[in-house]
Amino acid sequence: MDDAKRNRPDHDGAHRLAFERNKKRIFATQSVCGICGKPVDFSLKYPHPLSACIDHIIPVSKGGHPSDIDNLQLAHWCCNRAKSDKLKQSKAEPGLLDVLSNRVLPQSCDWTAYRAK
């Protein structure tokens, strides 16, 4: 294994099976991107930017649980990439996380017109 590669417990560690099980549950029960609020088209496959993926509401790098269903949500691939490991901060109380919503990221372009090659 490459030393520079990050170990992700939801991809190759102890949480892999739980993550995959919860991913299937989310794909079966959710249809709207948890980041932008728009419908997810499951017929679109990666690498299409609007393809479905799983987002960690609180990123694993920020202490979020890697496989807990309450920390996972459906997202468009491009929305998840734009969110990266950001968290919404409460303006009223700095340092206090507001996890009611993470739909605060601007959309960089109109992905509905995108055509995969």
Q: Tell me: the pLDDT tens digits for 44-75?
A: 999 999 999 999 988 888 888 999 999 999 99
d(CA 76, CA 58): 16
| CB contact set of 104 (below 8 Å; sequence gap of 6+) | 88
SS (H, E, C) 30-61: CCECCCCCCECCCCCCCCCCCCEEEEECCCHH
Cβ-contact 50, 40 below 8 angstroms:
yes
Q: What is the pLDDT of residue 68?
A: 93
Q: Tell me: the pLDDT tens digits for 11-27?
A: 777 889 999 999 999 99
Domain boundaries, the chain: 9-113
Q: Tell me: the pLDDT tens digits for 91-114?
A: 555 555 544 445 544 455 554 555
Average pLDDT rounded to a whole number, residues 33-44: 93
